[in-house]
Amino acid sequence: VKPSRSNASQTRSAPSVHTTPPTAVLHSADSISLSVLNWEQVQRLDTILTSSIPIHGRWSFPTLEVKPRDIVKVVRSRMEEKRIHVREVRLNGSAASYVLHEDSGLGWKDLDLIFCADLKGEMEFQTVKDIVLDSLLDFLPEGVNKEKITPVTLKEAYVQKMVKVCNDSDRWSLISLSNNHGKNVELKFVDSLRRQFEFSVDSFQIRLDSLLLFYECSEHPMAATFHPTILGESVYGDFPTALDHLRRRLICTRSPEEIRGGGLLKYCHLLVRGFRAASDAEMKLLQRYMCSRFFIDFSDVSEQRRKLESYLQNHFVDLEDRKYDYLATLYNVVQESTVCLMGHERRQTLNLISSLALRVLAEQNAIPNAANVTCFYQPAPYVSDCNFSNYYVAQIQPYLTPVQHPMYGTWLPCN
Helix, strand, coil percentages for the chain (3-state, nearest 5): 45, 15, 40
**Across 283-296, average pLDDT:** 94
408: confidence class by pLDDT, cuts 50, 70, 90: very low
Q: Helices 68-81 and 39-50 sit at what angle, rounded to 10 degrees?
A: 70
Q: How many angstroms separate the CA atoms of 306 and 312, rounded?
A: 10
Secondary structure (DSSP) of 279-301:
-HHHHHHHHHHHHHHHHHHS-SH
* Angle (nearest 5°) at CA 12 between 208 and 73: 50
Q: How many angstroms separate the CA atoms of 371 and 373, rounded?
A: 6
Of residues 346, 325, 343, 324, the one with CA closest to residue 334? 346
340: confidence class by pLDDT, cuts 50, 70, 90: confident
More confident position, 255 or 390: 255
Q: How far is CA 256 from the centre of its chain?
A: 16
Helix (H, G, I), strand (E, B) or coil at 282: helix
Structure confidence at residue 125 (pLDDT): 96
Q: How many angstroms separate the CA atoms of 334 and 288, rounded?
A: 9
Tens-digit pLDDT profile for residues 312-334: 988 888 888 899 999 999 999 99
**Across 87-98, average pLDDT:** 95
CA diameter of the chain: 96
For 36, the enclosing helix (H) or strand (E) is strand 34-36
Tens-digit pLDDT profile for residues 141-179: 998 888 889 999 999 999 999 999 998 889 999 999 999
User: Is residue 70 within 8 Å of 53, Cβ to Cβ?
Assistant: no
Structure confidence at residue 186 (pLDDT): 96
Of residues 291, 272, 402, the one with CA closest to residue 346? 291
Structure confidence at residue 111 (pLDDT): 94
Strands 111-117 and 185-192: parallel
Tens-digit pLDDT profile for residues 210-235: 999 999 999 999 999 999 999 999 99
Cα separations (Å) of 165 from 97, 134, 184, 263? 25, 22, 20, 18
For residue 5, pLDDT beyond 60: no
Task: List Cβ neighbours of 361 (8 Å cut-off, separation of 6 or more).
Answer: 324, 367
Helix (H, G, I), strand (E, B) or coil at 58: coil
377: confidence class by pLDDT, cuts 50, 70, 90: low
